[in-house]
Chain A
Amino acid sequence: MKRTVVLFLVILFISPLTARAEVNLSGRVKLFSSLFLKENTEGLYFNHDSGEFAFKRIEARLRLSGFLSDQISYSVRFDSFSQPDALFSEWRFPESSPLGAPAQAEPFDFFLYEGNIRITDFILDGLDFTVGKQRIQWGTADKVNVVDNLNPVDFANFLTFDPDYFAERRPETALNFEYYFSGFTKIQLVWLLSRQIAPLPYNFSDMVTHDLMPSYVKIETEKKLLQNTNVGLRFSTVLLNTDLGLSYYRGNFGLPRLYGVTPTVINGLEYSYKYPQREVLGLDIAGEIFSLGFWAELAYVRPEDVDGFAFISIPVNGGPSLVKKTFSLFEDSYFKYVLGADYTLDIGTGIYLNAQYLHGFFDETDYSSQAQSLFGFKKGMFFGEIENYILASAEYSLLRDKLTLELGGLVELSGEGHSLAFMPSLEYKIKDLVTFQAGGFMVSGDEDHTKFGSFKKDNILFFALKTDF
């Protein structure tokens, strides 16, 4: 019913627009399917047989964009994901819901991915104002932007290993003011009307408590108050032929942080999570030296002072007794950074190389030593300590760019071990606007001390078929 209302509203929205102004319609239909190559019965994140489908879904996008006047434009994007298989379990037939909605027999999701209006020269000459759900560029690195805390990483889709969603960020609802002193120098103020919350994978709660059952996850929420909104400020310019940006963000961690563990009689261990606040000062640059492209980002992060707590057992009168211990959850401040470069080797039609050295993945932070020892935070785990990575890819196009071969990879250097994730893929343009893609996600290395190594038994092969219109 809810979806019907949304669809009705979409049609209602489109009709007057098409009558009054030009509307550009575009979109995509994509089938993504992946298979596990090995059996994994004790996986940290996935349990499966060899040859079992990991994901099989159809994605459809519809974008409407256009102008209401010379200075006012709009863009709306709806996304839909559909799982073509009916839900079949030991206790449920693939029946539709009582009202005949097909969502259970053929589950699908439909939502507003993006919807914004942009007004150029708003109030003042040189002031552009974008309001609504939008992606905001913040930084210069290739995907792994450590200074970008405005658009949370889509952690749910990250674990599909669909290359289109690798470290992909989600649009947020914001008021975005960009004032241009000149075409290259601007100051940008972004007011985000809510906290930035990254989408988490299905069954995330089970994942975080997997090893200590029975357990219970409690998430601290806050009221939707004016003071609980986030803000970003960025100054950017070009200096000595180098793009330069300085930024400030005050907001929350996009991923939940464990700050307390309480033993309870009813629930067993109760894990307390929250989305703490932080301030981030950022510096980003991009340019070229001797035709080698380069970029760098540095983020100085100051998390709020969060009191973590845990109950520890101490001997009292010869017997054990639980005592609540509180401590600072985070270090006072810490750095994250990324350095990257790209170059095209003049071999054949040209081999494009791209490499980045990353200190601090999007989910990592610097915990206090007490939090590390009591909660087990360490390098080599999701939501763990900051570690280092090398991300690299080589791309080669053949047949007049109809066929593109890419060997992507990631080396995780956790300190206690390392892992290597290979992401080879090929993309073939069957026709103009129709693309076939196939590839894999294969991991080797230390299974126990690296986060990507933990996917060692979850190697997948995938293929995708995309049609744009």
Chain B
Amino acid sequence: MNKKIVIICLSLFLFSMGFGWDVTGNDILKKVDALTVGDEAPKDTQMVMTMKIVSSSGNEKVRELKTWTKNNPDQDDWRLMKFVSPPDVRDVGFLTLSEEQMYLYLPEFHRIRRIASHNKSDRFMGSDFSYEDLGVASFQKYYEAEIMNEDEESWILKLSKKPGADKPYEKIEMWVSKESNLPIKMKLYDSSGELWKEELQENKSFDSYWIPVKITMKNLKEGSWTELTMKEIQTDQGLDSELFTPRYLKRRIR
């Protein structure tokens, strides 16, 4: 009897550790990273984003941005974002080269300002995304993943922050589509373990890639949400590295 209980307990333990599946959580996360910032991601992308910010009282603001991203499999991806509208932020630019090298361009003062990484948790232009949420860093670098469950469509992972990782989310629950191997939903927990944000992501097959076309970030503490819709998506255009420099950051956009 005792032997049976031990075997059952051991099986449950192994199951809970991920031995119940052919793959591990880290394997799935590795695939997610490969498709978003790694070898299997588009070499570069260019798109127009519409950002709809909706407050808890229902007030709505809309911003439009142009973004360019360059994939660097061995290091952080580079991203350039330029605001197209509304007029008070037109030509404001944000360049991310790594978490330690970010620049903000303020056209009113013709000034490029170096942004230190302490700002990465700040809201991006009043939205529910932080600078970090819109960043392009690998999950694997900062989180350990284990499989919590699966259903027909997705794997459900639990991501735990690695010791010493400088990230605002202590824990992430991530639903990874079995079709696209990209996240379709994430629950983001703060440092006290409280559920903070929920992110929903729609991905579409585009050229030979799966690309997020709509991301909705809900701030559950404040009741607000922000929706990013991507359009005019272009991939593998052979974007020049020179585009991701202060020279282009301050260039006016057409």
Chain A residues within 8 Å of B, Cβ to Cβ: 22, 24-28, 65, 67, 70, 73, 75, 118, 120, 128, 134-137, 140, 178, 180, 182-184, 186, 238, 241, 243, 286-288, 291-295, 342-344, 346, 349-350, 352, 397, 400-401, 432-433, 468-469
Contact = CB atoms under 8 A, between A and B. Distances in A.
Contact of A469 (B87, B121, B248): B87
Contact of B252 (A27, A75, A186, A352): A75
B4 interface: no
A400 B87 contact: no
Contacts of B109: 135, 137
B16 to A, nearest CB: 33
Given A26-B87, A118-B252, A288-B116, A400 B222 contact: yes
Contact of A243 (B88, B110, B114): B114
Given A293-B114, A433-B87, 17 more contacts: A24-B87, A26-B88, A26-B90, A65-B91, A140-B114, A288-B114, A288-B117, A288-B118, A293-B115, A397-B123, A400-B55, A400-B123, A400-B224, A401-B123, A433-B88, A468-B88, A469-B87
B247 interface: yes
Contacts of B90: 24, 26
B100 interface: yes
B18 to A, nearest CB: 32
B2 to A, nearest CB: 50
Contacts of A184: 245-246
A291 B117 contact: yes
Contacts of A293: 114-116, 118-119
Contact of A291 (B110, B116, B242): B116
Interface in B94-135: 100-101, 109-112, 114-119, 121-123, 126
Interface string B237-254: 000011011111001101
B118 A291 contact: yes
Contacts of B244: 183
A344 B101 contact: no
A73 B118 contact: no
B183 to A, nearest CB: 25
B194 interface: no
Contacts of A180: 242, 245, 247
A469 B88 CA distance: 7
B231 interface: no
B123 A468 contact: no
B9 to A, nearest CB: 41
B27 interface: no
A136 B252 CA distance: 15
B204 interface: no
A292 B242 contact: no
A346 B114 contact: no
B254 A67 contact: yes
Given A67-B252, A432-B61, A134 B110 contact: yes
Interface residues of B, number: 36
A257 to B, nearest CB: 28
A68 to B, nearest CB: 11
Nearest to A429: B126
A292 B252 contact: no
13 contacts: A65-B91, A135-B109, A180-B247, A183-B247, A184-B245, A291-B118, A293-B118, A344-B121, A344-B122, A400-B55, A400-B123, A400-B126, A468-B87
B236 interface: no
A26 B166 CA distance: 40
A294 B118 CA distance: 12
B20 interface: no
Contacts of B166: 291
B70 to A, nearest CB: 12
Nearest to A169: B109
Nearest to A466: B88
A249 to B, nearest CB: 17
B193 interface: no
Given A135-B110, A344-B122, A346-B121, A432 B86 contact: yes
B116 A350 contact: no
Given A137-B111, A241-B101, A343 B247 contact: no
Contacts of B248: 183
Nearest to B106: A137
A34 B117 CA distance: 37
Contacts of B119: 293, 344, 352
A343 B114 contact: no
Nearest to A73: B252
A461 B254 CA distance: 41
A294 B166 CA distance: 19
Given A67-B254, A184-B246, A344 B86 contact: no
Nearest to A183: B245
Nearest to B119: A344
Contacts of A342: 116, 118
What 7 A-B pairs are tightest by C-beta distance, nearest first? Answer: A183-B245, A293-B116, A468-B88, A26-B87, A288-B116, A135-B110, A401-B126
B155 to A, nearest CB: 32
Contacts of B110: 134-137
Nearest to B55: A400
B152 to A, nearest CB: 37
